Amino acid sequence: MQTEEEALTASLAAFDKKLGSYRSINAGNYDDDTASGPYSVVVNSRYGMLCGSDTEEPLDGEQTLRDECIYIMRNSLPISLAFLMEFSMTICSLFIIGHLCTATELASASLAVMTYNITGLSLVEGLATALDTVCPQAYGSQRYSKVGLYFLRGSAMIMVGMSLTAVVWFFSASWLQFLIPEADLIPKIQLYLRIMILGIPALTLFSTGKRFLQAQAVYEASTCVLAIVFPLTIVFVLGFTRHFGFVGAPIGIVASQWLMVIILFIFALYVRPDTLRCWYPFMQSSHHFMRVFTHWRPLWDLAFPGLIMLEAEFLSIEALTLISTYFGVNAIASQTVIANLGSLIFQVPFAIGCVISNRVAHYVGSGLVKNAQVTVKAAYCLASIVGVSMCLFVAFLNKPLARLFTNNEEVVELAHSVSYILAVNQIYDAFNTLGAAILRGQGRQRLGGIWNMIAYYIVSLPLGWWLAFGPLKLKLAGLWYGCGIGILILAVAFAWYIYNSDWQLIIQECNKRESTELENDMMHSASVDASFSSQ
């Protein structure tokens, strides 16, 4: 009677035999796809870990909570600066349009930017969250060329999806007329969006490119890029708007987006050439090239829930803005101030979440469960610190921050009164944001997508509507109370799922994705070899 260990050894020997024939077919082009060594070594190592033995993984459990917190904070600082600069780019363009163009053109630009964020930026960033899972997991399991392959696949998949967005933007006047009653604004909005179509490839490549580098623990790349591009963006937008008028702003932004991609690739080539070991040689053969455009389903299964997570939150905030129109001009202006303030502060926990998701995914790919659990503990320690810090920041500085957006004292006072709700929301929003990052690292975006829909559209918006218009008549404050309760539900739900994580199953799912693709490649390569043999 064969023991479990003997059966595993026999199956591994058979798999290594198949892998040897696979490598001979591909002339050694896929050594990195398995690991830096025999595949059986990697599987045996993980098998030992899954069976409760840590002798094969001497580093597992050696990472301390203090060291993990320091690592996360140190690497999240440059990403926070990058996100703040990237977020400020469109805000600065609106400031410049507001000073150099007419009020009508400013209104058109504001609506165009909102449309761009909902149907463009959030789509790209949402779909790119799949790379937050697969790229670090591939790197952690030492399948280095897979990191590059996933980067290329993700870029291609997003660009195909964004081609539909380009069509929607190009003919935006035909459907905007049903949403915007001011017909004189629509031609300018359409013109703005048509120009922004030219930046879609650059937006996609920068979003996926920075994840390609972050998967290799190169977190400073996007900060270095934006430190150069951000001041140039102001120069571009200011100069082009002075020279060309309204169209100068989107032209300047598109030019900046392409410059960001160019500098990012220069950074990878010349500043950090070690990152090129993860590059996938897609031009080496037709098989390499076709591999980029096949097996998109596993990536899509992660990308779509990530898109739902981001869009659900984004659209709920925009829904609050639309509902606030029932409370008068001052309420609309105050809501705009609060929403922008919240978006600005959100960049800090979101940046920390990027490091956490990469860290968790690295450990999942390496099979280091104990280290992954230390990262989870560090994430919740940092969530409490960041949440309280952001709460105090908003509570004490909301008036000066509001005056950055407007000089109207009535608007400032209303924003000031509601900002205390936003301040309290920061505490559990930090737990929500970092919890979502852990789920991304585990490859469980689907849970996040489902709970975001429940929290925002079944609880938050209906409750906010009732608090705003019901017996309490809390108006704008009621909307934000409802939003906060939805975020609290998300934070609790994510914490429950993370606490009850089945790490063995998570690692098995990671291995399943890799082994399924390897089998598909072997079948494809064998068919190619058979066709050559028959000739």
Q: Residue 521 has what pLDDT?
A: 59
Regarding whether 355 and 254 lie in a shared domain, the answer is no
Question: Are residues 425 and 480 in contact, defined by beta-carbon separation less than 8 angstroms?
Answer: yes
Structure tokens at 407: 């000089």
Are residues 341 and 459 part of one domain? yes
What number of CA atoms fall less than 13 Å from residue 116's CA on the CB side? Answer: 24
The reported pLDDT for the residue numbered 517 is 65
One domain for residues 429 and 481:
yes
pLDDT of residue 180: 81
Residue pair 303/134 in contact by the 8 Å Cβ criterion? no
Compute the distance between CA of residue 368 and CA of residue 252 in angstroms, rounded to an integer.
Answer: 46
Question: Quick check: helix, strand or coil at residue 10?
Answer: helix
pLDDT of residue 231: 95
Task: Tell me, yes or no, whether 157 and 267 share the same domain.
Answer: yes
467 is written with which tokens?
Answer: 């608090």
Q: List, for the chain, all residue ranges whose pLDDT scores fall below the cut of 70.
A: 1-61, 516-535
- The reply to whether 283 and 330 lie within a common domain is no
AA identity, residue 50: L
pLDDT of residue 439: 96
The span from the CA of 440 to the CA of 433, in Å, is 11
Q: Are residues 258 and 350 in the same domain?
A: no
The token duo for 427 is: 């505490």
Report the number of secondary-structure helices (H) and strands (E) in the chain.
21, 0
Range of the domain at 113: 65-295
pLDDT on residue 268: 96
The answer to whether residues 282 and 354 belong to one domain is: no
Residues 209 and 325 in one domain: no
Kindly tell me the sign of the dihedral angle through the C-alpha atoms of 181, 240, 268, 71.
negative
Q: What confidence score (pLDDT) does residue 31 get?
A: 47
What are the CA-CA distances from residue 501 to residues 270, 349, 369, 463, 465 (Å)?
41, 22, 11, 31, 35
Q: In this structure, is residue 50 part of a structural domain?
A: no
Residue 317 and residue 281 in one domain: no
Classify residue 501 by its DSSP letter. -
- Look at residues 466, 461, 514 and name the one whose alpha carbon lies nearest to residue 485: 461
Same domain, 271 and 315: no
Residue 58 lies in a domain: no
